[in-house]
Amino acid sequence: MSFDAFKDFSMAGHNVIITGGAQNIGAGIAKTLSGAGAKVMIADLNGDMAAETAAAIAAETGNDCRGMACNVTSKDDIDAVVAATVAAFGGISTLVNNVGWGGRQPDPADIPEEEFIASYKLNTISAYRMSMACLPWLEKADNATITNSGSFSSAVPAYDILPYGTAKAALNQMMVSLAHMLNKKVRVNSILIGSVVTEGYADAGLAPEVIEKLSHPDNLIGRPGSPQDIANAMLFLCSKASSWISGQTINVHGGGAVVRLFGA
C-alpha cells in the first residue's frame, strides 16, 4: 500500500459556502476547493457573475459548483444562501468569509463617519452573521471550518484606507474569539492577505502608478501575490491537512517588506 501525502488536502465530502467568490481572489478559492473535491456555493452581490463563474468552475473540475446573489449585509440574503446550500448539498462543512472591500480615502483627516460604519458592516459584521447562520450545520460536520480573507493592512499602518484596515483588524480579533468560543467544534482561522493585484485595485480608486508600484513589491519573494497563492493557503486551512490549527491569523504576503539595516 502506497502512502498518499495529499490525502489530507482532499475536500471530497465537504460542502462549502464562499462569499464574494464571483471574481478575483474569491473565484480562485472557489475553483481550488472545487478542484479538491468539494461542492461549492458561490455567494456574491453580483448573482449573474456568481452563476457564470460557478458554471465555468463546474465544467472544469467536474464537481457541483453553484452561484447565487447575496448581499452579505442583509440577514435575509444570508439566510437564503444557507437554506439554498443545505437544500442543494445536504449540509455545510466549510465557510469562507472572503467578501470585503475598501476604497482609498481622498482625505484621511476628514473621513465621514458613515464610511467607517459601512466598512464595519461589510468587512466585519457580515462575517459574524454568516458564521452564526452556518453554525448549526457546521457543528454537525466533520472537519468543520470557518476561514476568513483578512488583510495585511489590518496589522500595519494604513491611513489611506483607514475604514477598511480598522474593520479588518476587528475581523481578526472577532475570529480569534470565535475560535475559542467554538473550540473542539469548529476550527476558525484567518489569512492576512498582502498585495494581490486584481481589477479590484482600480475599483478601490488606486491610481495607475500606485498599482504599478504594488505590482513590483520589495518583499522577500520579489513579486505580488496571485489569487492562486491565496487559494492554496485556503485549501490548507479548510482541509484536514491543518486539523491541528485553529485561532490563527496567518500572513500570506510574500514575506513582507525587505528590512535593510544599512541600506541597499
Any idea what the CATH number is for the domain that residue 97 is in?
3.40.50.720
Residue 48 lies in a domain: yes
| 151: pLDDT strictly greater than 60 | yes
**Residue 257 — very low, low, confident or very high, per pLDDT cuts 50/70/90?**
confident
> Quick check: is 159 catalytic?
no
Question: Given this model, what pLDDT does residue 216 score?
Answer: 80
Residue 33 lies in a domain: yes
Residue 81 lies in a domain: yes
| Centroid of chain to Cα 213 | 24
Residue 28 lies in a domain: yes
Ranges 32-36, 110-114, 208-212: which has the least confidence: 208-212
Q: What is the pLDDT of residues 156-191, one digit of tens each?
A: 999 999 999 999 999 999 999 999 999 999 999 999
CA angle 253, 254, 255 (to 5 degrees): 90
Residue 6 lies in a domain: no
Of the candidates 237, 59, 56, which has an alpha carbon nearest to the alpha carbon of residue 149? 237
Catalytic entry in 120, 128, 159, 164: 164
Question: Given this model, what pLDDT does residue 90 score?
Answer: 98
Domains identified in the chain, total number: 1
Question: Given this model, what pLDDT does residue 46 score?
Answer: 98
In which domain, by residue range, is 130 found?
11-252
pTM of the model: 0.94
Residue 4 lies in a domain: no
Q: Residue length, the chain?
A: 264
Ranges 126-130, 165-169, 201-205: which has the least confidence: 201-205
| 34: pLDDT strictly greater than 80 | yes
| 50: pLDDT strictly greater than 60 | yes
Residue 1 lies in a domain: no
**Residue 95 — very low, low, confident or very high, per pLDDT cuts 50/70/90?**
very high
Using CA atoms, how far apart are residues 76 and 230, in angstroms rounded to an integer? 29
The percentage of residues in the chain with a pLDDT greater than 90, rounded to a whole number, is 85
**Residue 203 — very low, low, confident or very high, per pLDDT cuts 50/70/90?**
low
| 27: pLDDT strictly greater than 80 | yes
| 248: pLDDT strictly greater than 90 | yes
The percentage of residues in the chain with a pLDDT greater than 70, rounded to a whole number, is 96
Burial state string for 237-255 with b = 16 or more CB within 10 A and e = fewer than 16: bbbebbeeebbebbebbbe
| 200: pLDDT strictly greater than 70 | no
Question: Given this model, what pLDDT does residue 147 score?
Answer: 98
Residue 73 lies in a domain: yes
